[in-house]
Chain A
Amino acid sequence: MLLSIEHVHKTYPGGRPVLQDVSLSLDHGQTLALTGESGSGKSTLLNLSAALDHFDAGEITLDGIALSGLDDSGRAGLRRKHVSLVFQQFNLIPSLTVAQNLSFHARLAGCHDPDWEAHLADRLGLSDLLSRFPERVSGGQQQRVAIGRAMAVRPKLLLADEPTGNLDETASAAVLDLMLSLVTESGTALLLVTHSQDIAGQLDRRVHLAGGRIQ
């Protein structure tokens, strides 16, 4: 099992529970859609899975590593080497070029592979944009850079939070197709947060969250 979430509880300051007794699992190469209304806790669950945030109770295990036992530096190491993230807001580094953004995570993780990155750039249609800065390319192109950055690490798990939420219908479909094909090609597991039932339908499994509980 790649990702195992067991009886996880999370409460925000002020006492509002966000996640209550949530359990699910994800195997290597599997794709899972996490759906739910705004505020249902899906982004929080994704953040917890990425070791970006702390949970109050339960346990999350990623590739055999229990997250509750990790300190700040251990969590950073886990994110660097095992997990890749794609956000709705793209979150590229504005001061680096497209090429630098594309290779940035892989270089941090110490698995920089120029050929693989060139292949990704080609597949994602970014080859002509490599010397540009993020602010000089479109939203769809920025999200493709974010996907490329994530896949350049050849991660075991890709976590994507509404990756097409900021794109129009055409760009959204193109980006999703590319992401799914790359994930399949490299055997990466995918946990994708989305509002869209259409997108969720394209993945292996679907889990619906409501009021912080799995339905």
Chain B
Amino acid sequence: MTAAIIQALTSHWRSHWLQLATLLIGIALATGLWSAVQAINAEARASYARANAQLALGQFDELRDPSGAIPLTHYADLRRAGWQVAAVLEGPYRIQGRTLRVLGVDMVAYPALPAITEAEAETDPADILTAPGRLLASAELATLLQAQADLPPVLITTELPPDVILTDIGVAETLLDAPGQISRLVVLPNQPRSVPPLSEIAPDLERISPASQVDTAQLTDSFHLNLTAFGMLSFAVGLFIVNGTVGLAFAQRRGMIRTLRALGVSMRRLVWLILAELTLLALIGGIIGLILGFFLAGALLPDVAATLRGLYGAPVTGQLTLQPAWALAGLGMALGGTLIASAQALWRLSRMPLLAGPSVQAWRGSGQGQRLAAYCGLALLVFGGLAYTTVGGLLGGFALLAGLLTGAALLLPLCLSIALNLCARRARGPVTQWVWADMRAQLPGLSLALMALLLALAANIGVGTMVSSFRLTFVGWLDQRLTSELYLTAESDQQGREITQWLEPQVTAILPIRNVELAHETGPLFLYGVVDDPTYRQYWPLIARTDDSWDQVMSGDAVLINEQLARRADLWPGDVLRLGPNHQLPVAGVYSDYGNPTGQAIVSMMQLDLIAPGQEARRFGIRLDPNRATELAQTLRERFGLAPQAVVQQAAMKAQSRAIFEKTFVVTSALNVLTLGVAGFAILTSLLTLWTQRLPQIAPVWALGLDRAQLARLELSRSAILAAMTACLALPLGLILAWVLLAVINVEAFGWRLPMYVFPWDWLVLFLLTLVAALAAAALPALRLLRLPPADLLRVFANER
């Protein structure tokens, strides 16, 4: 009996293969886009975890000096007193324009690292410790390092993150030009019982537990959250296709179900078999989606990795590995999504009376359903607003976004219906009148696809506005921040002094760039010292300030902080910033600092020397007549033997910054386009699945004297008009979305607020793209209509149906 029922049920798909393909594509697209984002996130997080494990980060307490480097004497004192600590010196190291991270550890005392264990198995451990030492790096990095003549020999290891050089602390001192310096001390387990307390030996050091150490995963959380939100939006848009197709398939099978029940099959058995059928389809679609997602993630991951490395210094490899858990989660999403999208249709089918007619019209919804959806939409809008005002934070921001988008989507059919009603009332000619009325009648069947289009367009406008606003602000900000005509990095402190002396008589100003990394309760804090120069007073982008901000800073009485630190620590002009045990200064102003995840502060050079004496002076900004910049850069390179990248012109610096900026949004743009593509596909599938229901509407009009070419043109116009109306409604929604992203999500996630700009030209382009997508989606049904043999239209009138 079951076999016979299955045969009857599956016969539907044999005669509706396009519907089956649509359903599978819907599931595959939803799963594919979601899984791609998840694969990228999982790979990035796995990279962070791998890096933490490989470098033994976040496992032990650490000792840090809030004012900068730890003096060697403290290390010696602690060891002498019996403290089991391992010294670490770390810092950035640039080779051929690429920034690497050098991690110098005390090879004897530091916890056993997998990379060292691997290296010791292949080489004599003494080689690593004795001069010239060894550098441990990944195979890809090793190739780069081996090409440098002045570096120690390189050992290849599989146990290190990309862009990390692990070496003995002595070698690191040379590489980083930081003799006698220690960045932090790792407190090893199994300390002797009676060691003197830290406050007696080194009172200026702070002990930080693993829980309060800010790690990469925390820093990048908001980035991944944004990606996840986009993945979820794509998933939802894909499910609209599934919902529409399953709904129609079930409606078309009502006659068959009625017959099966009349022949003695229980509804319970039918529901179970349909559930099994849906499960099978979900798994097939899910597997296709996983394959799609894997390749999509593989294509996007290198850009994401570059973004994460650029923005956060996060160690992410650009290669994707297939994780069984990811595949299982993807299949789970496909199954869950399909069942959720089919739940309403299945429920309606299960409650269908035995003698109910096989009408397909029931599937198309009703005015009552439209009103109910609108009420739900309003409720969701209110929910989003309440969640934001009561919960607040990033979670509240995302709840606001979710409520706004889903609420607006549910309100769309009612809004369109009202608009179509108004148009129908103004229509004069019979054909126009019919077109408007027919569009309204078609609306329930198309509403899901139009909702998907609304979401995709709103996301496009919202994210587009955010990115373009960001770009405009960023470019303006770059102009303010990168005011020097040349940026120079000397090879040493001594060379820096020589260059300064040589330059002084020939340029307008030399602006040293010196900084020290401090520890702050909100995370790392980079303290910069500046000299008193009109450049800063004229151009530095202050967003909050006191009347005499710069005077206070230059006289050593105040500090300027970046927006990130201001928002995280809630410090604004007049508040006090603690820079170390003995240093605190009032905040005189806050400046914008886009793209920087960490806190930053500016004091006068004199203050910097007081807080962290002996900071090297290797980097400078040079002000001069812009026309002389190229010539002077070349002279500097030749005279002081500097590498080409050691002297960078302002334009090149800006171009580089803009390139990094654009790369940051490659993934967002790709997902944006894909979501719009899926929405376009949703319209196509809706039009195709509605096709069989269209004939009874079209045939009488054809019989009354409109030819097929006219009707085909009207089909195209209908699709374009509905898409255009949806696009018009998506515009305000997209702008609200942009405002939420700029004023709420960005502030919560990244710590800076951006001004919002509008870009009408972009809207026009998007509007035209939407029309093209809608016309493309309607082209196939219109072409079908154009080529439809009259015999097919005549079947509508046939008596023997």
Residues of A within 8 A of B (CB): 12, 38-39, 43, 47, 50, 52-54, 72-73, 75-81, 85, 87-89, 91-96, 100, 103-105, 107-109, 161-162, 165
Contact = CB atoms under 8 A, between A and B. Distances in A.
Given A79-B704, A80-B704, 7 more contacts: A52-B703, A76-B705, A79-B703, A81-B705, A91-B696, A93-B438, A108-B431
Given A93-B700, A93-B701, A76 B706 contact: yes
A161 B697 CA distance: 19
B619 interface: no
A109 B703 CA distance: 12
B703 A161 contact: no
A94 B444 CA distance: 14
B790 A77 contact: no
A127 B704 CA distance: 23
B45 interface: no
- List the 7 closest A-B pairs by CB distance, nearest first: A80-B705, A107-B430, A76-B707, A95-B441, A95-B437, A91-B700, A79-B705
Contacts of A75: 707
B224 interface: no
B365 to A, nearest CB: 14
Is chain B's interface secondary structure helix, strand, loop, or mixed overall?
helix
B434 A95 contact: yes
Contact of B705 (A77, A87, A94): A77
A80 B709 CA distance: 15
A79 B797 CA distance: 15
Most interface-central of A75, A78, A88, A108 (chain B CB within 10 A): A108
Contact of A73 (B700, B704, B709, B796): B709
Contacts of A92: 700
B764 interface: no
Contact of B797 (A54, A77, A91, A104): A91
Contacts, number: 93
B361 to A, nearest CB: 9
B703 A94 contact: no
B614 interface: no
Contacts of B431: 108
B433 interface: yes
A100 B437 contact: yes
B707 A72 contact: yes
Contact of A91 (B437, B703, B706, B790): B703
A161 B705 contact: no
B706 A72 contact: no
Contact of A38 (B429, B696, B707, B800): B800
A103 B709 CA distance: 23
B64 interface: no
A96 B798 CA distance: 22
A215 B84 CA distance: 116
B699 interface: yes
Nearest to B699: A91
Given A88-B799, A95-B438, A72 B430 contact: no
16 contacts: A52-B790, A52-B793, A72-B707, A76-B710, A79-B705, A87-B797, A88-B797, A89-B799, A93-B437, A94-B697, A96-B437, A100-B434, A104-B434, A108-B706, A161-B797, A161-B799
Most interface-central of B440, B791, B793 (chain A CB within 10 A): B791
A93 B434 contact: yes
B434 A96 contact: yes
B451 to A, nearest CB: 21
Contacts of A81: 705
A72 B703 contact: no
B426 to A, nearest CB: 14
A104 B433 CA distance: 9
